Amino acid sequence: MHEMSLAEGIRQIIDAQAAAHGFERVTTLRLEIGRFAGVEKPALEFALDVVLRGSSAEGAGIEMIDLPGRALCYDCGETVEIADRLDPCPLCGSGKIMPQGGDEMRIKDMEVI
């Protein structure tokens, strides 16, 4: 379950930011997760609950924001949203597309006190 290692990485970032900026508690943590990131959100939520115990983010509200899959179509030249990496361009139907986004995962922001 790679969600546990993702949660541990998130805790490391939170700990580093708490040390750098001197906040005591994280009340809300917002994560952006791309459609193709391969993250199972329920598993990540469980892992965060376990990993954040005893940290400044213990009990913080977790908001997971879905980011769409995006691709560049070589035929029409447009950047389009796609639901699956193998989908054709929704504008022109071409199969000549290059995924351009949707595989990212990042901390968008945190509310702290």
pLDDT by residue for the chain (113 residues), tens only, comes to 599 999 999 999 999 999 999 999 999 999 999 999 999 999 999 999 999 999 999 999 999 999 999 999 999 999 999 999 999 999 999 999 999 999 999 999 999 99
**2-112 adopts what CATH topology?**
hypothetical protein PF0899 fold (3.30.2320)
Residues 6+ apart with CB under 8 A from 5: none
pLDDT value of position 23: 97
CA trace torsion 82, 85, 91, 97 (10° rounding): 140
Looking at residue 29, its pLDDT comes to: 98
